[in-house]
Amino acid sequence: MPDMQGKTVVVTGGNSGIGFETASALGSMGARVLVTARNADKGRAAVAAITQRLHGEGRVQLVVFDLADLASVRAGAAEILDQAPRLDVLVNNAGLVLTERAETVDDYEATFAINHLGPFLLTNLLLERMVASQPSRVVNVASTAHNAARKGIPFDDLQSATRYRGMRVYGQSKLANILFTLELARRYEGRGLTANSLHPGTVRTGYGSDGDARGLLGFGIKIASPFFLSAAKGARTSIYLASSPEVEGVSGEYFVKCKPRQPRRWAQDPEAARRLWQVSEDLVGLAPAGTD
């Protein structure tokens, strides 16, 4: 088991599923873990459960904010920076799949906003602290669902306003996770920060049981869920990328079952990755970093 003593880790969506197991495992290695959640009660319950697992020895704290609200993300990032003088690992784990189109408080399509724009903004707001804490790691939980985005990122319709299909839009958001990772790795090469993405496997995470997935998709998820991986097994690659000495210095890769794999060709497009970064900066209100 890797030694994470003295390291501080942030796990988004750490109140349930893969995020909960990731936070628990990294805490058991000695890391100080900041668990983020959008619901304070669920977050507090998760922190209590993780602390109990660690027999009271872990240092687990809660930061409450909502990835669907960019102002909330900024407030959450500020709290993280206030609580963490150093920041070694960020695991962008939180996400969702929707079968019906919805919009956030910022008037953005919810799947793209929550799965990509929120994590993009959070990561950028924490990057300076992470570089100062080097070597540091960003771990982005993507998915083989990016296979569904064969036409790439729909830059002419990022908000899926013309035609909405839940799994296609979800796949596009997971493609965005991989492209974001690719460009982040390029921009921060040689600066002590690595970025990798992963597919966790098909995991029982609660999709289809919390009202997000409805209709045939929700029914299909419920029927198939007994055959899905447990959250603990699904968290293995996230834990590996966050802690293993084997991937020290490895950056810009996509992992499946703790091994690097080639994602689809549309997830290896450096020009699309650059464009997505620039568009995302504009959408979340970040000034360009000036790094090409």
59-81: pLDDT as tens digits: 999 999 999 999 999 999 999 99
Q: What is the pLDDT of residue 209?
A: 43
Q: Which range is least confidently modeled, 51-60, 191-200, 223-232?
A: 223-232
Domain count along the chain: 1
Q: Which range is least confidently modeled, 85-99, 144-158, 195-209?
A: 195-209
Establish if 94 belongs to a structural domain.
yes
Whole-number Å distance between alpha carbons of 249 and 228 = 32
Query: Is the pLDDT confidence value at 225 over 50?
Result: no
Query: Is the pLDDT confidence value at 119 over 90?
Result: yes
CATH number, domain with residue 206: 3.40.50.720
Could you tell me the pLDDT band of residue 1, with boundaries at 50, 70 and 90?
confident
Name the CA dihedral angle for 261, 180, 67, 112, rounded to a multiple of 10 degrees: -90
Q: Which of 170, 188, 240, 254 is catalytic?
A: 170
Could you tell me the pLDDT band of residue 201, with boundaries at 50, 70 and 90?
confident
Establish if 3 belongs to a structural domain.
no
Establish if 257 belongs to a structural domain.
yes
Establish if 125 belongs to a structural domain.
yes
Block residue for tokens 């990798």: 196
Establish if 291 belongs to a structural domain.
no
Establish if 233 belongs to a structural domain.
yes
Q: In DSSP terms, which residues pair with 94 in a beta bridge? A: none
Establish if 292 belongs to a structural domain.
no
Establish if 24 belongs to a structural domain.
yes
Q: Catalytic: 170?
A: yes
Do 143 and 247 touch, CB atoms closer than 8 A?
A: no
Whole-number Å distance between alpha carbons of 201 and 213 = 18
Task: Count other C-beta atoms under 10 Å from residue 102's C-beta.
Answer: 14
Give the structural domain span for 68. 8-284
